[in-house]
Structure 1
Amino acid sequence: MKKLLYVMAGFAILLLVFYTYLGGFTDPEVTIATSKPMYVAGQPFEGSVEDEALGNAFQRAAQLLEQNELQGTLGNIYYNNPDNSGDSIRAFIGIIIPDSTVKLPQGYTLRKVPGGRKVVHAEVNARVAMAPGKLYEAVFDYAKEQNLQLEEYYVEWFPADDEGVLEVPVKQ
């Protein structure tokens, strides 16, 4: 019986260490900011969050960065909140690039994220697997506390393996 308790305690410690490594205990910093213009090279997606094509779009973006076909940061634009619309999502999955003159890989198009808008800006030090959930929750909580109405336009990017950023425009 004691052996089982030691094994369970060891397993619990390993889970806590892994959760800490992912950034599970870090809280996002949320502020009001003015957005900067960005260019996103990517591919549109519309469908279920369970659709294999969505995962393929994320994998392709990561592969293009890994193979140096594009220089930039993983980044996405979401045009709806799947929590409010079943499991359907409208998105543009890709890479935030430094300027619009970059030669795009086959199947990729360019979208510009406008600058100069008032946004709720959130940053967190957490792995890519953990960051989105933390960021969205923090932004929605902040908007509720500050009595802000948000647009259905979410721009997220991941400057490093352990950092995530989300900006959501405030309705004017």
Structure 2
Amino acid sequence: MIKKNWLAFVSAFILPILLTFWWWGGFNHATIQEVQSEPLHYAYSEYYGDYGNLTDVQQKVFAALRAQQIEPGNSITILYADPRTTKKHDQHARIGYLIAPTAQVKEPIKTDDLPSRQVLRAEVQASMLLAPGMAYQALHDYLKPMGKDIRMPSVEVYTAGTSISQMGVLTVDIPN
């Protein structure tokens, strides 16, 4: 019975999972390069706690910017603590969006600038569910043969895809 139905099983269960994983960018690879980053102006909210809850804060920043009639650009997350070595309650991040340099932001949202700097950059086109793991793994694999490890802070900028069928691009910059 099992031998006769294996094609139906693959078609009904395995194939849809593989297609979804492919669509989300799961088979894509991150590229690594040393670059001079561009200067960034962003609006943000400070966050302390488990990095697993960053999405909630990002949505609040988005809503606050829209309420102030400021158009949020690409999302930005600056992670100050390495989640591999830092307890969840000690993790610190800034979560927000790139904004126009002339935008006037009101409390409780803050603004700051990141100057241009020399960084090691990982870039991957994938769903936000998969992209961070792929980018950080690629950085780790690149640095390991040199006896180095990922250093914080890291700056993550996610550029959303232009259509429902296109995944966005995550860029992760770490100090070089």
**TM-score range with shorter-chain normalisation?**
0.7 to 0.9
Query: Secondary structure at the residue paired with 2:27?
Result: coil
Written as runs of structure 1 = structure 2, the 5 A alignment for 1:105-124 is 106-115=107-116, 117-124=117-124
Structure 1 unaligned segments of length 5 or more: list them: none
Distance in 2 of aligned mates of 1:141 and 1:105: 41
Letter in 2 for 1:137: Q
Change in Cα spacing, 1:4 to 1:45, as seen in structure 2 (3 Å) is farther
Q: Deviations over 1:41-84 (max 9, x none)?
A: 11010112345xx3321222455678863231111111011112
Written as runs of structure 1 = structure 2, the 5 A alignment for 1:86-125 is 86-88=87-89, 89-99=91-101, 101-104=102-105, 106-115=107-116, 117-125=117-125
Letter in 2 for 1:110: T
Distance in 1 of aligned mates of 2:115 and 2:143: 21
Contact 1:61 1:74 in 2 (8 A): no
Q: Deviations over 1:90-128 (max 9, x none)?
A: 1000102232x212254210122121x221011111112
Normalised to the residue count of structure 1, the TM-score between the two structures is: 0.83
Contact 1:62 1:74 in 2 (8 A): no
Q: How many residues align?
A: 166
Partner in structure 2 of residue 158 of structure 1: 158
Q: CA RMSD in A?
A: 2.4
Query: Secondary structure at the residue paired with 2:59?
Result: helix
Contact 2:70 2:103 in 1 (8 A): no
Contact 1:32 1:119 in 2 (8 A): yes
Give the deviation of 1:6 after TM superposition: 3.9
Change in Cα spacing, 1:49 to 1:158, as seen in structure 2 (3 Å) is closer
The worse-fitting range, judged by mean Cα deviation, of 60-69 and 151-160 is: 60-69
Letter in 1 for 2:160: A
Letter in 2 for 1:165: T
Give the deviation of 1:38 after TM superposition: 0.8
Written as runs of structure 1 = structure 2, the 5 A alignment for 1:26-65 is 26-51=28-53, 54-63=54-63
Q: Deviations over 1:2-55 (max 9, x none)?
A: 47534431210000000001100000110011122111211010112345xx33
Structure 2 unaligned segments of length 5 or more: list them: 162-167
Distance in 1 of aligned mates of 2:64 and 2:123: 24
Contact 2:62 2:72 in 1 (8 A): no
